[in-house]
Structure 1
Amino acid sequence: MHELSLCFALLEQVETLAAQHHAIRVERMTIHLGPLSGIEPSLLTTAWPIAAANSLAATAVLDIIISPVRVYCHDCGAESDATANNLCCGVCHSYHTQVRSGDELLLAHLELTLE
């Protein structure tokens, strides 16, 4: 389960930010997770308490927001919604697209208790 190693990496980032702000505890964190990231949200939720045990984030609430898949079309210039199994342009249906969102794991928000 690579979600556990991702949680450890996320925890490292969270602890660095907490230390920069002299926090004594992490209360809540919000991440944006894309369907194309290869990360299973339920496994990430299960792995988080294991990774965060005995840390400043041990009791932190983990909120996961699923990001939409968006593509840019190189043929018509439109940006449109897409799905994980169909990355074609929503306007002209071209397959000459570039993913703009939907493949990310992004720490978007962090709530800390300060000293």
Structure 2
Amino acid sequence: MHEMSLTQGVLNILEDYAKTNGFAKVKTVWLEIGQLSHVEPEAMAFCFDAVMKGTIADGAKLEIVETPGKAICVDCAEELEIASRIAQCPKCGSYKLHISGGDEMRVKELEVE
């Protein structure tokens, strides 16, 4: 389960932000997870409490914001939402798609004390 190491990475980001911005407690974390990111939101939620235990984010609430996959067709320049990296352009039928969004995971927002 790579979500455990990803959650540890989120904690590292939170600790770095705390040092830089001078806060001592994280109350809520909004985590943006793209549909094409290969990250399971349920697994991230499962790992979150365990990884945050005893840290500045102990007891913090995790809010997951899922974003759709987006692509641009190389052949006809159609912009589309996709659910899989193996998708077909509905306009021209091409499989030559350039991923333009939904493959990221990032800390979007924090509520801190």
TM-score (norm 1): 0.90
CA separation of 1:65 and 1:90: change in aligned 2, threshold 3 A: farther
Structure 1 residue 38: Cα displacement: 1.6
User: Which AA in structure 2 matches 1:44?
Assistant: M
Q: Which residue of 2 aligns with 1:55?
A: 55
Q: How many residue pairs end up in the alignment?
A: 113
- SS of residue in 2 equivalent to 1:23: coil
State the partner residue of 2:97. 97
> Residues of 2 paired with 1:111 and 1:20: CA distance?
15
Rounded Cα–Cα distance in structure 2 between residues aligned with 1:82 and 1:39: 16
Does the 8 Å contact 1:80/1:91 carry over to 2?
no
State how 1:1-115 maps to structure 2 within 5 Å: 1-84=1-84, 86-113=86-113
Distance of 2:69 and 2:54 partners within structure 1: 35
Contact 1:71–1:87 (Cα < 8 Å) also in 2: no
Q: What is the alpha-carbon root mean square deviation over aligned residues?
A: 1.4
| 2:47 partner amino acid | A
TM-score (norm 2): 0.91
Any stretches of 5+ residues in structure 2 without a counterpart? none
Question: Quick one: percent identity of the two aligned structures?
Answer: 28
C-alpha displacement of 1:44: 0.7
Give the unaligned 5+ runs of structure 1.
Answer: none
